[in-house]
Amino acid sequence: MLNEEQVQTIKKQLIEQIDSSFPEDKKESAKEQVEEMNEEELEAFLDKNKLMKPKEENSCIFCSITSGKIPCYKLMENKKAIAVLEINPISKAHTLILPKEHFSGEEKIPNEAHTLAKKMAKRIKSKFKPKQIKIFFSEFMGHEAINVLPIYKEEKENSQRRKASEKELEELKINLEEKKRIKKTKPQKIEKKDKPRGKMWLPKRIP
């Protein structure tokens, strides 16, 4: 069962999601529904939408993504973080950098995650030529993430989101994912062995 602090945090995050992605005429009613949910109703809602699995120890959706329990469009990774495509993006190639450990608070995000964000921003800039790349932080269910957001027009952190199609996400993945390098094996040099010299024939000395 969720405690009061978790309930308030999740409700706040759901309302932020509604503000950024719902049509104007549906925002107020959706926010009212969220506010009126009790602990059990909220937990049932999260479970139904596969945002958490209450019976499992790992109930964070980001943790489930980084551990491979939930499929994602992974682009690259290092020891401490992975880069995945945002399935409800603000703009084309909007990417999330997820620390592999459950971190809450920007100051706790490992340096490797920041390194991956910069690497991803450089790749997006090269492939799709946005005007600029904005990097900002967000948190869901206590798990901090870094957003790599390409700016093509006037997109902002709270701009309206949209649901990306599987086809679009697959095409972006092909364009942006880190290709595995195939190590070329160098042909071994065959050492030439000196042939044993035979006895040299010399003419007999004539006295």
**Tokens (6 digits) for 177:** 């994912």
Residue 54 confidence (pLDDT): 41
Q: What is the pTM of this model?
A: 0.62
**Mean pLDDT, rounded, for 190-205:** 55
Residue type, 12: K
DSSP 75-126: EEE-SSEEEEE-SS-SSTT-EEEEESS---SGGGS-HHHHHHHHHHHHHHHH
Nearest to 14 by CA among 3, 36, 25: 36
Q: What is the pLDDT of residue 197?
A: 56
Q: Kind and range of the H or E element at 71?
A: none
Class of the CATH-defined domain 60-179: alpha beta
Torsion of CA 99, 101, 106, 107, to 10 degrees: -120
Residue 26 pLDDT > 50, yes or no? yes
State the pLDDT at residue 57.
Answer: 43
The helix (run of H) or strand (run of E) holding residue 5 is: helix 4-21
Q: What are the domain boundaries of the chain?
A: 1-55, 60-179
